[in-house]
Amino acid sequence: MCWSGLAIPGDPSCSSCQRPFGESGPQGDAICAPCLGSPPAHDGIAAGTLYTDTSRKLVLAFKHGKRIALAPLLARMISARLPESDEERLIILVPLHRWRQWQRGFNQAALLARELEKIGCGELLVDGLKRTKRTPSLGGMGAKARAKVLAGAIEVARPVVKGRHILLVDDVLTSGATSTACVKALKRAGAKSVVIACFARVLDEALDHAA
């Protein structure tokens, strides 16, 4: 594995979603064009890396190759990108449908979430969210189609999220449709803020602005 192939999101970046601007980009509390055009439901994205061939190999080894020993490394990379906060966070993972978890044998987001708790990033609530129906792959779908597929698919399983600051954990953030459904469910249940934490974020246009 060539670790130099990892692309770490750099600063300056969007104050809303942490999309890297590059060294010549705006400073301070600037917001990127996508967030201005469609304000996100979340309260920030902390991505350990951007999605490249190298991070893809790590994700595949972890998720499908069952190299679960990679979880501590991936979690440390996520924690390094988390914004500082004086608030105690509640760590919640993006849920898998029970049949998909049964087929895979584990939920990769749960492994990352446990490691983040060990590092001291918050208190883990394993069953905070649940999938009420199995959904197909969202690849190739437009935004409206993704939203339709995910409508009612994710619900808050525990009422303890009210008034809490949430760290929503997943391995890869692609279109953001699933994480957005999770964020909206948490906000409806009274969550005060929700920051998305992932290992790799698909953001091809930002690769030139990574470290």
pLDDT tens for 151-172 read 777 899 888 999 999 999 999 9
What pLDDT is recorded for position 161? 94
Would you say domain 3-209 falls under CATH 3.40.50.2020?
A: yes
Strand, coil or helix: 155: strand
Task: Check if the beta carbon of residue 83 is closer than 8 Å to that of residue 77.
Answer: no
Query: Structure pTM?
Result: 0.88
192 band by pLDDT with thresholds 50, 70 and 90 = very high
How would you class 126 by CB atoms within 10 Å of its CB: exposed for 0-12, middle for 13-18, buried for 19 or more?
middle
Q: Phi first, then psi: give them for residue 113, nearest 5 degrees.
A: -65, -40
Burial class (CB in 10 A: 0-12, 13-18, 19+), 60: exposed
Q: Domain-by-domain residue ranges, the chain?
A: 3-209
Q: Token pair for residue 17?
A: 């979603």
**Rounded CA separation 53/211 (Å):** 16
